[in-house]
Structure 1
Amino acid sequence: MATATRRKRRTKSERSAQAAEALARAVENDSQANYQPIIDGFLARGLKAEDIKPRENVFTYPAWQAKGRQVRRGERGVKIFVRVPIDESKPADNKPATPDAKKAKQTVGRRAVVFHISQTFEIGGDDSGQPLPAAPGGDDNQAPAPRKPNAERIAAQLRRSADVLTSQIEHKLRPMTQRPTARRNWHYIQRQFEGQDMLKTQHAMHALADAWVAGTIPESLKAVRQRYAILRMVSKGVDTSGYYSARRTDEYRDNSETAQTLRRFLAGDADATRRAEEVEAAEQLTSRENELRLCSRPGFFPTPDSVIAEMLRRADIQPGNRILEPSAGMGHILRALIADPLPTIRYAMGSIDIRWCEINAECREFIGTSIDYPRCQSLSEDDVHDFLDIDPCDVGLFDRILMNPPFENGQDAEHAMNAADFLEPGGRLVAIVSEGLFYRRDRKATEFREWLDEVDGYSFKLPDNAFDGPDAVRPTKVATRIVVVEEPAE
């Protein structure tokens, strides 16, 4: 009984080498069959048909290496389908086949990627991108000139790469949805910085794409195409050395000559400059907002968005109304008014006046820099910023008053009763007050309840977690109510 010869297993490197050799041989021998796909593929890359010559100028990656040439990094080849012959007649131990051995040749389909000579350079030489010398036998063997960069193609690549960042930017710049703590706020600030860096990168890539199309791209910036490299060139560092602190530094992450050239190029682009200024302003506001978010200030609890929406619904703002916010804080109610969340406000935006008052200097500064609306101004032009010290005869009366006064020491009662004196006949006051005013027996709480009965006002309780939900800037578990008071019409 004949003993079967056991095949010797080939190593991975041997299999790869044999496959590369067979594939290169198949492409070379079968080039006529793949002639048209190769022509079509390289025509789409911008080469002329007479310069392609598949038999002389088109080979696979290992075939080019065997010829002493290397494919340039980043070059994209043309995919073709070939039949690779596999000789199964030789035994695995590499001994000569016996005369009786049955010779069986098989072929297997493989996909190959071929590269043009203009995509290669000589290994160890300095002719990067230069074609091989012309083969003897006539003028038809003349090699093509190096391919020039396609401006439209590069611009499209830059724009596609920039647009990929859109979803990431939206994710990074999303608002905080958890109760703010020092650690969460630290992560939030860093996330905001990352989103703003991506936004700068996106703007820079679009500016580079426009320059490629216009033919104004500087020579030193033609190789600047990678997102991460551009991000480092246009963004400044972040210092996180403090206790749960993150702030921008004055140094750019990349100060190379190319990076400085890119920043000068962007500074000369009016549109890019405007976008950069907008991002810088947003960064400063983010940093300032987070400082105020964690500041130690008794009774400072900015109004959550869900509560503001209910206040606006109760206020029923009409075109031509004059509106007052006497406890502006960080300006959350003001921004909601300007953002016109309700149809009645949207139609009225051209005719309403908004005035605000805030006793805290840091909050006043923040409102002044974060709100840019010509019809939203400070209530007092002099140095009087305490609402309780302002006389309605000096500033006039208002059709609507929306307020969230501080709760400590009965200040909410004082502010609400004082605000009612600023109402026009037929005007309406919508104020947030603490639940304690409705059951405490101290003088301020008692006077407030008596006053609310006299002016025929009403109140309703807010949910227990109204100031303790995910949209609360500075959470508190204090129970609150909304009070509504209407001044009788004449």
Structure 2
Amino acid sequence: MKVPTEVLAVLDRAETDGSRLVLTGTLDRKLYLDTAKVLEAAGGKWNRKAKAHLFDGDAADVIETVILTGEVTSTRQQFGYFPTPAPIVQQLIDLADIQPGMRVLEPSAGRGAIALAAVRAGAVVDCVEIQPDHANALIAHRERNITVITGDFLTTDPQPVYDRVVMNPPFAKEADLIHVKHAWEALKPGGQLVAVMSAGVTFRQTNRAVAFRSRLDALGGALHPLPDGSFKESGTGVNTVIAVLPKPL
């Protein structure tokens, strides 16, 4: 069940407390009915006494899944590691305009689809990956122009030494916004960050999302929408965009 953008915006503003979800703001009748239909499909039942929609589990987790995918499905996804499909990897490399000899950072590198492509473009790449099995798989390539650190990227202290940052971070609970903000600090002046992000960054009204869009505009950055189903082969229906954020000289 596809969810219209205007309903996603209503869900983004909703207040949750455990299994309870309360809609906020003034909704016209059609928008309310459309939203209620989505909530019911997602498992939320209206409870007159509680004056809220009640879910069997955590309401915030259910709604986060709907916002990320733009649809209601019967299967919950945990939006952590989803390998970047080859066509999207190439689009990331093209948008980053990686040149031979550039120093590149890939945070949350997974098994290195992006890092290996960056090396083929002539870059020297540093990777950070939190899951040891993924990090070991990347190390097993024995690529002399790739260095792998096993650990949580968000615990690192980024230094502005990279010409490019190219990344596909985790999405759940705005993790992509947190990772991109942290990674941008690793850019040299004149460098550029290119990241796959949830399409929620284009419409969510959370403090992080609003601040991101404001910063994107101030930097002269851009968002490039990706077609629906771009990550289907990787096992997720999450809707995505590619963000390009330059760092001023």
* TM superposition score normalised by structure 2: 0.65
Which letter does structure 2 place at the counterpart of 1:408? A
Quick check: 1:303 aligned with 2:69?
no
Which letter does structure 1 place at the counterpart of 2:146? C
Which one scores higher on RCO, CA 8 angstroms, separation ≥ 6? 2
**Aligned pairs, number:** 173
Match of 1:324 among 101, 105, 121: 105
Measure the CA separation in 1 of the matches of 2:226 and 2:78.
23
Per-residue Cα deviation, 1:423-445 (whole angstroms, up to 9, x for no partner): 11111111010011111122222
Quick check: 1:436 aligned with 2:207?
no
Match of 1:467 among 193, 210, 231: 231
Measure the CA separation in 1 of the matches of 2:226 and 2:88.
8
Any residues of structure 2 matched to 1:331-480 within 5 Å, and which? Answer: 331-338=112-119, 340=120, 345=121, 349=122, 352-369=123-140, 371-378=141-148, 380=149, 385-393=151-159, 397-468=161-232, 472=233, 474-480=234-240
Q: Which has the larger radius of gyration?
A: 1
- Secondary structure class of the residue paired with 1:302: coil
Task: Tell me which residue corresponds to 1:56.
Answer: none
Which letter does structure 1 place at the counterpart of 2:245? V
Structure 2: runs of 5 or more not aligned: 1-76
Q: RMSD in angstroms over aligned alpha carbons?
A: 1.8
Measure the CA separation in 2 of the matches of 1:463 and 1:376.
30
Measure the CA separation in 2 of the matches of 1:388 and 1:359.
10
- Secondary structure class of the residue paired with 2:129: coil
Measure the CA separation in 2 of the matches of 1:401 and 1:323.
6
Match of 1:486 among 225, 246, 249: 246
Give 1:297 deviation, angstroms: 6.0
Higher helix share: 1
Which letter does structure 2 place at the counterpart of 1:414? I
Any residues of structure 2 matched to 1:83-482 within 5 Å, and which? Answer: 298-338=79-119, 340=120, 345=121, 349=122, 352-369=123-140, 371-378=141-148, 380=149, 385-393=151-159, 397-468=161-232, 472=233, 474-482=234-242
Measure the CA separation in 1 of the matches of 2:173 and 2:208.
9
Per-residue Cα deviation, 1:405-425 (whole angstroms, up to 9, x for no partner): 001010000111111111111
Which letter does structure 1 place at the counterpart of 2:97? D
* Off by >4 Å, runs of 4+ in structure 1: none
Measure the CA separation in 1 of the matches of 2:243 and 2:79.
22
Contact kept? 2:98, 2:118, Cα under 8 Å = no
Measure the CA separation in 1 of the matches of 2:124 and 2:92.
18
Structure 1: runs of 5 or more not aligned: 1-295
